[in-house]
Structure formats: C-alpha cells, structure tokens
Amino acid sequence: MEDDDDGWLARLGHVPERVDRTAFTGRVVLLAILAVWSWSLIRADYRTGDLIESFLHRPLLIFHEAGHLIFLPFGEWMSVLGGTLGQLLMPAILGLALLWKNRDPFGGAVGLWFLGVSVMDVAPYMYDALDPRLMLLSGHTGAEGGSHDWIYLFRSLGLLQRARMIGSLTHTIGAALVLLALAWAAWLLLRQRDRLAGDVLHED
C-alpha cells in the first residue's frame, strides 16, 4: 500500500487505495463552494470592515469570546490576546486532528482554509486600531471607549502607529493561507480521481 510512512509529508498527500465516488463528488462540490466563497472574502475590504460582515464572522466570534475566558487565568494581557488566539486555534486544531488522527488530508485542507479566513477576520480590527471606527460588541467604537483588543495590545507593545501596516500584512497572510488550502485540496482531488472505485464502505 502506498504512503505507509506515518510522517507528516506522507499524511499531507495521503490518498486511499480505493476512493468512494459519492464522497469524492461531495469533496469536489465543497471545494467549488469554498473557491467561490474565497474570492468574495479576499475581495472584501478589510479596511472598512466589510470583511467582518461575512457569515463566518459569527461562529468565529464565539471562539473569540471563549478565548478571552480560557486565557483569563494567565493575566489581563493574555486574556485580551486570547480572543484572537481562540479563533485561530479552533480551526488549526480541527485541521490537525483531521490530518493526523483521521488521516484525512482533504479535511486538513478545509481546516487550513478556515484558519486562513480566521486570520483575515482579525485583520480589520488590527487595521482599525489606529483610527477606531468599527462598532464593537459593546455598541461603541474603540474611540468611544469600547473594549478594543488591538488598541490595547498594540499600545502595550509600542506598535499602535504600525497598526495599519500590520493589519494589511495580516490580511495578506490570511489570503495566502486560503489560496494554499484550495491548491492543496485540488491537488488531493486530482490524485483521488485516479483511484475511484464506485461505492466504498470504508476508504483505505
């Protein structure tokens, strides 16, 4: 059987000997949906907050707020940063679990895509820190006294004047991760196409 090596590189490109045709079709459809969605997300203007109007912002916000609570025992600074860490760790852990435990690199690629979107979701708040205009959960902007994570973090690090540059760079990194995930998933599907075997109860 190919890919007997259990190393990371082998898992990144693992393809079952027999690929279920229905499951394969579902993956193709999912990849097409993610590709179209990616174009919309990458083109959304992070500088004006358009990006955070996406549907995905809402579930990410749940993990963001949970991150504040999870990192609370480590002090105020880590608790504030914990919001961003929470929304980044969730898709990262999901992707790694699918890749390593389930030996499912396509699932890992979807996890990487979600991580890229989450990174892009952080960018508007970073960019906004210098001249805060985004409405926060408190109902106020950072300029009006709302609790703005990245004003606090950048100010504590002496980086507030570079907020827009860092926000722009963060958006670029997130977009690159999204495109990398799509390319990875497409490559896997091309390899899986050569091993289609009708209806397979368990791909192995």
- Both structure tokens of 56: 């995905």
pLDDT at residue 127 tops 50: yes
Q: What is the per-residue pLDDT across 34-87, written as a single tens digit (0 to 9) for each? A: 999 999 999 999 998 888 888 889 999 999 999 999 999 999 999 999 999 999
pLDDT at 4: 46
pLDDT at 2: 43
Rounded Cα gap, residues 90 and 63, in angstroms:
7
Write down the domain spans for the chain. 19-193
Rounded Cα gap, residues 132 and 41, in angstroms:
22
- How many angstroms separate the Cα of 139 from the Cα of each of 88, 93, 146, 148, 160? 24, 31, 7, 11, 22
Rounded Cα gap, residues 98 and 91, in angstroms:
11
**Contact of 203 with 24, CB cutoff 8 Å:** no
The rounded mean pLDDT for the chain is 91
Number of helical (H) and strand (E) elements in the chain, helices listed first: 7, 0
